[in-house]
Structure formats: C-alpha cells, structure tokens
Amino acid sequence: MAKDLYDSSSEAKTLLDSANDILGFKITDIMFEGTADELKQTKVTQPAIFLHSVVLAKISDSFSPDMVAGHSLGEFSALVATETLAFEDGLKLVSQRAQAMQKACEINPSTMAAILGLDDNVVEDICANINEVVVAANYNCPGQLVISGSHKGIELACEAAKEAGARRALPLPVGGAFHSPLMEPARAELEQAIDATVFNQGICPVYQNVSAKAETDIELIKANLKTQLTAPVRWTQSVQAMVADGATTFIESGPGKVLQGLVKKIHREAEVSSI
C-alpha cells in the first residue's frame, strides 16, 4: 500500500515517515511489505487506509475540490483534505477511533450484513420489528443497505429480508456492529479525543455521514463526527445532496474504486475517476 507514492514523491515520503513517529510503530513496513493478516490488525487497517487516501490528495496537483465527502472512516480523510483537520491530528483521531472500536467489539460481540435488492424503507421496517439490536447502518446506494447489530439480530433480519424478497442477505466478515448503538463505548471515548483536537475552517464544505448535508460550521462538524460511530452512514443521501448542489464529477482518493461504483449507482450521469 502506497509504496509507489513513497518512492516517487518526496512529500509522500515525508508524510508517511512522519506517520511512523505519530503512531509509535512503523506502519510503513506493514503497508509496504506486510501480509494480509498484518494489514487487518485493528491498529493498522484504518490508519493505513487513511494515510493512502490523504497522501494521494496531498500530492495531487489537480486536487481542488468544490465539496468533499467520505464514507465512514473516509470522513476523517475528507476533513484533512479540506484542512479542517491537520494531518497529524487526523491520524491521531483515526488511530484512537480504531482502538476504541476494537474495545467496543470486545464488550459487545456483534456483526453486520449486506441486504441487496430491497427498498431502504423495507429494510428499516424489518429492523424495527425485530426484538434485538439491529439497525440500518450504511445506506450505500439504492438497493444496497448494510445492517448492523447483535449476532441474533442480524440472523433474524437476514431471514426476514430473504422472506421479503431480498436478492441477497449476506453476513459480512467484520468484527463488530459498526454505526449502531452497540458502538456507544467507542463513541464516548472518541468524543473526548475530538474535544481535545483543534478544528479549523475548511477550504470547502464537507457532506457528513450523519447529516448528509453540506457542513462548514466547525462546531456542527465536530458534533456530527462525535455521533458518527453510532449513527448510519447516509452515503446515498450525501451523494444525492451533492448532485442537487451542483456536483457532476466525483474523484475518489484512496485505495480501490468502491465509491466510484456506488456513486454511479446513485446518479448514473455522474462522471467518476480516481486521483
């Protein structure tokens, strides 16, 4: 991960080397040469994705957004890209977030599942009628909604979704019920870290997961960021709001092309590409 950037850009090298000092271990060794299992370590995965995304944006000559958004973890990358958060502060928060989420997973063993082929309101009704913790967590695109909750809740919801005509109800290989009430211990821990961090006026609006609206007010951005771990990722609604506000071209900064695919499913006329 990001080895090509490290080798070809002095700015990327400086940022990635500084990440080792900020985190207190050589994350670059794992990113460049680590195994899949090493990359999946809680302390590594989220910071590594964050670093790849931010470094791409930082070294791109063409990066001059009118608006930004990030999916879950990506919201932190977006806030650094808009200079709302300093690189060091963003990385520290991402590291603290990852560790807080891991602790919450250990307190409340739980999971997630992808429901494909049902309208959002149908999935919401299914979750509401199950006597377990299970909620809509990621509104990824029309017909693709990820649910989050207890193991029993996810099992019952998947059964109900199939009975309701879902094309697929697929349990996901994740360690916890992210973006659900079961992440409350992590939310409380991250809230303290956010309160201790300096936020600046950004260069453009950020469309946040919680509100799915353009945000520029620093206190509101902080409040939404605190709520993010226990609230759903409203990606579909965020992209729709960006389109309504004039967005025609979406450029993804980070590993992979998942968000480009989601954007096209939300708005077929959108132009999508990578940095």
Cβ–Cβ < 8 Å for 61, 263: no
Q: Does residue 135 form part of some domain?
A: yes
pLDDT in tens, 188-238: 999 999 999 999 999 999 999 999 999 999 999 999 999 999 999 999 999
Mean pLDDT computed over 165-187:
96
Q: Which residues contact 126 (CB under 8 A, 6 or more apart)?
A: 157, 160, 161, 164
Percent of the chain with pLDDT over 70: 100
Q: Does residue 165 form part of some domain?
A: yes
**Which residue segment(s) compose the domain that 58 sits in?**
3-106+181-274
Q: Does residue 79 form part of some domain?
A: yes
Mean pLDDT computed over 69-83:
97
Using the predicted structure, report yes or no on whether residue 175 has a pLDDT greater than 90. Answer: no
Cα separation, 226 vs 209, whole angstroms: 11
Among the ranges given (38-47, 189-198, 265-274), the one the predictor scored with the smallest mean pLDDT: 38-47
Q: Which amino acid is at 260?
A: Q
Q: Indicate whether 129 and 208 sit together in one domain.
A: no
Q: Indicate whether 102 and 113 sit together in one domain.
A: no
Q: Indicate whether 134 and 225 sit together in one domain.
A: no
CATH number of the domain encompassing residue 156: 3.30.70.250
Q: Does residue 148 form part of some domain?
A: yes
Q: Does residue 78 form part of some domain?
A: yes
Which one from 95, 179, 253, 267 is the annotated catalytic residue?
179
Cβ–Cβ < 8 Å for 232, 136: yes
Which one from 9, 53, 72, 148 is the annotated catalytic residue?
72
**Number of structural domains in the chain:** 2
Helical H segments across 108-257, by residue range: 120-128, 151-163, 184-195, 218-227, 235-244
pLDDT in tens, 113-165: 999 999 999 999 999 999 999 999 999 999 999 999 999 999 999 999 999 99
Q: Which residues contact 183 (CB under 8 A, 6 or more apart)?
A: 101, 104, 176, 177, 229, 230
Q: Indicate whether 228 and 267 sit together in one domain.
A: yes
Known active-site residue 179: yes
- State residue 261's pLDDT score: 97
